[in-house]
Amino acid sequence: MRLLLASILSVIVFVDLGTGCLAEEFLLVDQSAWPGKLLATRGENIESFWQRGASVDQRDVPKIQSLTILPDGGLAFCSGLDRSVILLRNGRESQLHHGGSLVRQVRTDINGDLYWSGLETPIDSNPIPDGYIHRRRHETGQVETLITFSQE
């Protein structure tokens, strides 16, 4: 079933909702939607789950590229085209982080810590800047840069 979904929707991301149901449920990202859209699978059906509003903060691009589930059941996502990590709880967006490099991916680990990557695209003949992996600790909310990596 997952292969069929991928071919129908082109680029999607699977996040296991962990609902404890007998049937698997997944949250999917429609990366081509503007504004960004989340879809949910219910058995063999795909239903619209949530869509970003068109009037987001002017610094943010209203798409969704990468998505992860948080320990409290909320979601964290990024557009891949701006500098923000967005939280979604109870149908409402809030900005967890803005600044630094372009946020390309978000992930959580088994402890509930949230990770995101920051990366710039070089412009013209400028040198390629370093990239970063950041972590927000679930227990304390402390944000730190874990890794700096070279793109050269």
| Per-residue model confidence as pLDDT tens digits over 41-97 | 887 889 999 999 876 777 788 999 999 999 999 999 999 889 999 999 998 999 888
Cα(91)–Cα(97) distance, rounded to whole angstroms? 18
At residue 4 the predicted structure's pLDDT band, cuts being 50, 70 and 90, is very low
Cα(131)–Cα(120) distance, rounded to whole angstroms? 7
Query: Is residue 76 a contact partner of residue 114, using CB atoms and an 8 Å limit?
Result: yes
| Per-residue model confidence as pLDDT tens digits over 119-150 | 877 777 777 778 899 999 999 999 999 998 88
Cα(58)–Cα(33) distance, rounded to whole angstroms? 18
pTM of the model: 0.79
Cα(70)–Cα(65) distance, rounded to whole angstroms? 17
Cα(61)–Cα(88) distance, rounded to whole angstroms? 15
Token match 């997952």: residue? 2
